[in-house]
Amino acid sequence: MEALLQATGFPYYLIHLEEALELPPSILQPGPERASTSSPSGPSYKEAVDSFIQQQRQDGDSGTSLPGHSTQDTPAGPSAAPRLPDTAQTQELLRSFEAAGTATAREELLEMLRTHLIVQTARDRGYAKVMMGESLTRVAIKLLTNLSLGRGAFLAVDTGFTDQRHGDVMVVRPMRDYTAKEIAFYNRFFSVPTVIVPPLFTK
Residues 40 and 118 in one domain: yes
Is the pLDDT reported for residue 59 higher than 80? no
In a domain, 202, yes or no: no
Residues 120 and 151 in one domain: no
In a domain, 42, yes or no: yes
Residues 121 and 173 in one domain: no
d(CA 55, CA 203): 40
Is the pLDDT reported for residue 79 higher than 70? no
What value does the mean pLDDT of the chain take? 76
Please give the residue range of the domain that contains residue 186. 128-197
Report pLDDT digits (tens) over 6-24. 888 888 888 888 888 887 6
- Give the confidence band of 196 by pLDDT, cuts at 50, 70, 90: confident
CB 15 within 8 A of CB 68: yes
Residues 95 and 150 in one domain: no
pTM: 0.67
Average the pLDDT over each of 77-91, 116-130, 185-199 and give the range with the smallest value. 77-91
Residues 121 and 138 in one domain: no
Residues 65 and 133 in one domain: no
The strands making up 129-131's β-sheet, listed across from edge to edge, are 129-131, 170-172, 162-163
Residues 62 and 104 in one domain: yes
State how many domains the chain has: 2
In a domain, 203, yes or no: no
